[in-house]
């Protein structure tokens, strides 16, 4: 599929894998809209991408339905919607220390947000359009402290299958990354980030953890492949095997 002049909304595109995808889409000639909650991070993303004319940034909280409705009305016609958003700060805790508010935020970013993007975005997508969400390896290889994240990732994949049926012929897919070196690990591992990622790298068949561009490749594929829907594409360096 050619992406030249297509309009692509990336929620969570101001850092990590979302930013890598935004760069790839811009390089392919697409018009990109990045949406997220932080105006500061969006300014940093614009600078990182070279302030291209084909890029627009909009401050939005996808957990708030009115904000999502306003966002999609403002944008108008779209070809693809991608969400890499994940608010899991505070959700990686053993049960005795788990704050339910942190669990609520994880659910809002990875379940309610995608639901709202589908509800208000599907009517604005072209006939060959797609919605793509990001789940994760935690649904398959959960760790202690990871019950909330495992649950929301698994639920998101179920949602993707249901939406693929309900919204057909629009395509709905998920990409499930393994451990990827992105800013989110600062919340998960803190000062031990490099140590933790290094330990996992030595376990994986590919001998390294993922990079944002690895996941951008996968997102780009499922957006462009017109015969892929209701699917979960695993990009995890063989983590499910070890």
Q: What is the DSSP string of the chain?
A: ---TT-EEEEETTTSHHHHHHHHHHHHTT-EEEEEES-HHHHHHHHHHTT--TTEEEEE--TTSHHHHHHHHHHH--EEEEEE-----TTT---GGG--HHHHHHHHIIIIIHHHHHHHHHGGGEEEEEEEEEE--GGGTS--TT-HHHHHHHHHHHHHHHHHHHHTTTSEEEEEEE-SB-STTHHHHTGGGHHHHHHHHHHHSTTSS-B-HHHHHHHHHHHHH-TT--S-EEEESTTGGG-
> What is the longest distance spanned by two Cα atoms in the chain?
51
- pLDDT of 46 above 80: yes
Domains of the chain: total: 1
What local confidence, expressed as pLDDT, does residue 64 receive?
97
Q: What local confidence, expressed as pLDDT, does residue 212 receive?
A: 96
Quick check: is 2 in a domain?
no
Number of Cβ within a 10 Å radius of residue 98:
16
Asked if the structure places residue 158 within a domain, the reply is: yes
pLDDT number for residue 116: 98
**In a domain? residue 91:** yes
Rounded Cα distance, 200 and 207, in Å: 9
- At 192 the pLDDT is 87
pLDDT above 80 for 45 = yes
Tell me which residue range forms the domain holding 149.
7-241
Cα separation, 166 vs 46, whole angstroms? 35
Residue 187 has pLDDT above 80, yes or no: no
- The CATH number of whichever domain residue 192 belongs to comes to 3.40.50.720
Percentage of the chain modeled with pLDDT above 70: 98
State the Cα–Cα distance between residues 108 and 63, nearest whole angstrom: 5
- Amino acid 2: pLDDT: 87
Residue among 29, 32, 26 at smallest CA distance from 9 = 32
Task: Look at residue 176 and tell me if it is in a domain.
Answer: yes
Q: What is the pLDDT of residue 190?
A: 75
Q: Kindly report the pTM of this predicted structure.
A: 0.95
Tens-digit pLDDT profile for residues 62-109: 999 999 999 999 999 999 999 999 998 889 899 999 999 999 999 999
In a domain, 1, yes or no: no
Task: Give tens-digit pLDDT for 110-149.
Answer: 999 999 999 999 999 999 999 999 999 999 999 999 999 9
Mean pLDDT of the chain: 95
Is 227 contained in some domain? Answer: yes
Would residue 131 count as lying in a domain? Answer: yes
In the structure, what pLDDT confidence band is assigned to residue 183 with cuts at 50, 70 and 90?
confident
Q: Read off the pLDDT of each residue in 149-167 and give the average, rounded to a whole number.
A: 98
């Amino acid at each position: 599929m050619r992406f030249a002049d297509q309009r692509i909304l990336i929620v969570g595109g101001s850092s990590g894998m979302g930013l890598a995808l935004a760069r790839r889409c811009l390089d392919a000639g697409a018009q990109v809209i990045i949406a997220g909650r932080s105006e500061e991070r969006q300014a940093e993303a614009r600078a990182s991408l070279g302030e291209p004319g084909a890029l627009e940034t909009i401050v939005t909280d996808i957990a708030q339905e009115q904000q999502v409705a306003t966002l999609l009305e403002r944008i108008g016609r779209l070809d693809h919607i991608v969400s890499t958003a994940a608010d899991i700060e505070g959700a990686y805790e053993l049960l005795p220390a788990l704050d339910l508010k942190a669990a609520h935020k994880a659910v809002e970013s990875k379940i309610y947000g995608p639901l709202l993007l589908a509800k208000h975005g599907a009517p604005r997508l072209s006939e060959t359009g797609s919605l793509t969400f990001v789940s994760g390896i935690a649904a398959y290889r959960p760790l202690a402290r990871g019950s909330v994240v495992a649950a929301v990732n698994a639920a998101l994949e179920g949602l993707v299958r249901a939406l693929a049926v309900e919204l057909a012929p629009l395509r709905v897919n998920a990409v499930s990354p393994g451990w990827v070196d992105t800013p989110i690990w600062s919340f998960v591992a803190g000062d031990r980030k490099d140590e933790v990622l290094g330990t996992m790298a030595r376990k994986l068949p590919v001998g390294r953890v993922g990079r944002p561009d690895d996941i951008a490749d996968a997102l780009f594929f499922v957006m462009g492949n017109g015969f892929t829907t209701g699917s979960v594409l695993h990009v995890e360096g063989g983590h499910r095997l070890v």
